Structure 1
């Protein structure tokens, strides 16, 4: 299941979700409403946008609720790099409840057809839990 979030302050050239750049696109939902929809599915959850970090604080509340009450993995896509996220307290609060981060801005110069889980080769797929334990970036396999 994917939760598409409105708002993006990065606005990557060639973005395939330009309609989500506007923070006012889509519609507002309460955290409990979103949670109820998520727990009713058999799949894991992906936070994608737009730029999820623009809504990091409410997403952290949702992510904590998901992790506390389910066994679902949480993937998050962000144009911010892992290193940038670690330096921002609001972003990090969200990150620590997630399992996998696809990081970095989409870059058309590095686009390749059929890339697994990412849009351009400069983006990394990071195992968040292992990276935090090892204190270095561990790529997801």
Structure 2
């Protein structure tokens, strides 16, 4: 993912996700402090399973901290008995026209990862928010 700052408070988060032959990309506007808070929450060990750590951006009114139309969503939670994590990424195109459900493309991509990869991702988030590079969360095999 990459982040294009609009100003010191906001920016557009661009996400590209790929797993097992499926791929998608989308972007959404986020408050920088929201992304920093999410990065800090990723340092927990172990991560909470209920509810999973989530962040989402999109358009429309917020309900339970989630916009009506999510364009970028990320959830990370423990999975299995061996300390692995499950990453779920929801990506969607810009809604077009009046009948949004018929003209919006959506993708849901899930993959396993581990705490070491999550820590590398977490460490890369703050420099990314300052315009230095990208943040990559890599997957592992089950």
* Fold-level similarity (TM above 0.5): no
Could you tell me the TM-score, scaled by structure 1's length? 0.30
Q: More strand by proportion, 1 or 2? A: 2
